[in-house]
Every structure is written in structure tokens, then in C-alpha cells.
A and B are shown apart, each in its own frame.
Chain A
Amino acid sequence: MTTSEKTDEQIAKMVQDGDLQSFGVLVDRYESKIARYAQRFLFRGDDVKDVVQDVFLKAYTNIQSFNLNRRFSPWIYRIAHNEFINAIKKRGKEPFSIFDVDTIFPHLTVSDESLDKDFDKKTVIEELNNSFKKLDTKHREILTLYYYEEMGYKEIADILEIPISTVGVRILRAKRELKKELEKK
């Protein structure tokens, strides 16, 4: 089996064992995804590249903390999330609160189907392209992960370290905010 045929987790194991070159394969696989995530979430131009590079450097530094029994994708996205939050805080232009009331109380599970009742996926993506800048940071991030990165609730919950039910509620709130932006137009 060639390196390119191996799973992310198998390659991560090789890197943990000292095969530094294999880390390049992981960078190849995730570079555009993390860059797209950064572009949507951070909304910046030139320095997005630096932040994305920092994500991979952080991932390499911490690769020994990666649990081989778990999936690599949420792990690297979690690192990216933390780096992006730090970048937003450094920039200081956007309010970002770690505290979220939605993580405290239980919510009825909001299914994917009910989310798409007021908006279909195509509409959301089109509107996101137009109104992204106006959305709250948290909403921007969750819509990016859900619609652009096409992740499931559990995966998003692991990346953001929030309850699974909160993922559904946050997507719903994000879509409502998007709808309001649409109505303003």
C-alpha cells in the first residue's frame, strides 16, 4: 500500500513514528479544506495563508497527542478552530464570546430535514456568499462546517466541543440570522 492509499490515521501514525515526510501528505489532503474554512470563518485576505500555515505547524507540534483510535479530521479541524479563534481575538475587531447559553440547557434535536425547510442547501450557500460578512462569528463558523465542509452534527460537536443538540440549534439560529439579512435587502 502506497502512502497516498493510506488513511489519515495510518499516516498520522507514521508521522508519530518519525516519518516527517508523510506529514506532507496530510498537508496536501487538508490544505484546501482548512484554507476554505479559514477564508469563510476569518474573512481575511493575505494573512489567511499565515494562519493556515500555523494550523499545520501546530498540528505537527502536537501530533503525538493525536489518539490513533479516533478520526484525524475532527482533530485537525479542532486545531484550526482554536487557531482561528486566537486570530479573531488578536484582531479584536469582532466580539467573540466563549460562553454560550445554548451549551448549558438541553434542546430538542433539530434534524437536518427540519433545517432545510425554510432554506434549501443551494440557497443557503448562495446567500452565505453574499451575506457572510454580516453574520455573527459563531454562526458563520457553524454554517461553514455544515454547508461547505459537509460535516455531520457529531463531527461538528467534536470540533467545537459543544453538545450535539447545540449544533442543531446553532445552525437554526444562524439560518434565521441569514434570513433576516436577506429580508433587509
Chain B
Amino acid sequence: MINQEKFNSIKDSVLTKIKSGQIKMIPKWQFVLKAFMVILGIIILGLALLYLASFIIFTLRQSGAWFAPTFGINGIGAFITSLPWLLIIISILFLAFLEILVRKYSFAYRKPILYSLVALIGFVSVISLIIGQVGFHRSAFKFTKEGFIPFARPFYEKFGQMQADGIYFGEISQLKDSGFLMVNRQEKEYEVLFTPETRFPFGEDFAEGDNVVVLGDLNNSLITADGIREVDEGWHRPPMMNMMPPPSIPKMNRY
């Protein structure tokens, strides 16, 4: 049993310290400020995370790697090797900090960490995809190229123009009997060659002016294609504009 007498003086001791001013109450405004800082931290981290996650999607779309998984196992492999791991690690760190801040609130700590993490990841993914559709980073990239937002320029130049191994993104400039000529973002021309093994997950009906992603082996300027697919988004105009009908160019069969 606990010896109650041992604790008899606690109340006196505590009240004496309080009355003598040895112990002081922290004013309410300090707690309000602290709570405000935590909320601000959550907002800033959340926005930073949304920015990074949508930027990762943007870089993958820019390199064409985003579309590679539709080509099967080889495409998935190319997608994984093309991931911007540095940005992903930074995003995971942001997510971890965000989780730590959010778990100060009972709505978060009363549930398993997995739930709040899944909810956070789901929310960030959906909003990032929406940001991608609106063309935020594409416009920002364009602005940095034109000399606006100079502090962001190195960031967009480093990550926005990343090349993915074995994945080529370009616009068809000329159809040929066994393939087509394609011009990439840097105005470099490639010849894309079809083989019997080439996969066309979304059909083979290509036309000049189509934007395509090609998975294959590059030899000089000849790409032997493992897979080819048309993509809706061009790099010359924001994705919202892609909803408008393209100028009518007659579709031609490759044969």
C-alpha cells in the first residue's frame, strides 16, 4: 500500500511555490501562439507536399515515364528507374513531419497511424492530379523559361527536363511504312521503328502531329520500339487546351 502520509505535504509545497512566485503560470497567449504555429506548420507543410507531389507527377509526364507502365513489365521497370527519388524522399520526409504535427490532435491519434497516412497520401495524390490537370507546373515552367520566377528556374531546369532511360516523348513529324519520324522537346529528330513485338496498348492509328511516348532501345537516332502509345498532352500548350479539338489533320494508317 502507498504510504499516504508521504504525500501529505505535496499540496502545501505546491501552493507555497505558487504563492512565492517560484512557479509561474504560462500566459494563455503563448499556448494560442503555439497552437497557431502548429496549424501554420501543417498548412505550410501540406502546401509544400502538394507542390512537390504534383511536381513529381509533372516531371514524370514531361519525361513520358508516367505513361510507361501501360507497356507491361518493361514499361513498369522503366517507370520505376525514372522516378525522381530525391524529390520522393523529400516528400516522404514532409509527409512524416506532417503526420507528426497532425497526431497532436485527438482526431488523428485515436486512429492507427496507417489510417491517417492513407488519408493524407490519398488527399495529396488527388489534389496533385488535379493540379497536374490544371497545368500549374507547365505554366510555371514556361514562366521560368521566360525569365519570370528566377529563383525557381534551376529547380525546373533540373527536374522539369529529366530524361527517362528508354522512354522517348515526342511529336510525330512524318509517318513511314514501318514506323515514323518523331521530334522531341529539344527539336531532335528520331526514327521510330515498329517490330512484330511492339506493343500498342491504345491502338496503332497514328497521325502526324500526334504526341507519342515510345519505350525502346535507342541506337544513334533509331529507336526500336517495344511499345508506343499516343498521349493527349503536348508540351506546347497547357493540358486544359488539349480539351479543345485539335486542328483537323487526316488520320493515316501506317501501312
Cβ–Cβ < 8 Å partners of A65 in chain B: 26, 28, 31
A91-132 with Cβ < 8 A to chain B: 103-107
From A32, A52, A56, A166, name the one whose CB has the most chain B CB atoms within 10 angstroms.
Answer: A56
Per a CB cutoff under 8 Å, which of B18, B19, B25, B103 touches A64?
A: B25
Residues A20 and B15 in contact in the complex (CB < 8 Å), given A49-B10, A158-B106 = yes
Per a CB cutoff under 8 Å, which of B4, B7, B14, B110 touches A164?
A: B110
Q: Which residue of B lies closest to A162 (CB)?
A: B109
**Dominant secondary structure of chain A at its interface with chain B:** helix
B30-74 with Cβ < 8 A to chain A: 30-31
B11 x A28 contact (CB < 8 A):
yes
Interface size on A, residues (CB 8 A): 38
A35 x B2 contact (CB < 8 A):
yes
Per a CB cutoff under 8 Å, which of A16, A23, A52, A161 touches B10?
A: A52
B112 x A104 contact (CB < 8 A):
yes
B15 x A64 contact (CB < 8 A):
no
User: Chain A: residues with CB nearer than 8 A to chain B?
Assistant: 16, 20-21, 23-24, 27-28, 31-32, 35-36, 39, 48-49, 52-53, 56-57, 60-65, 103-107, 154, 157-158, 161-166
CB<8 Å pairs between A and B, sample of 15: A20-B19, A23-B14, A27-B11, A27-B15, A35-B7, A36-B2, A39-B2, A60-B25, A64-B27, A65-B26, A103-B112, A104-B112, A104-B114, A106-B114, A154-B110
Extra inter-chain contacts (20) besides given A62-B31, A63-B25, CB under 8 Å: A16-B28, A20-B19, A23-B14, A23-B15, A23-B18, A28-B11, A32-B7, A60-B18, A60-B23, A60-B25, A61-B25, A61-B26, A64-B30, A65-B31, A103-B112, A105-B114, A106-B111, A106-B112, A106-B114, A154-B110
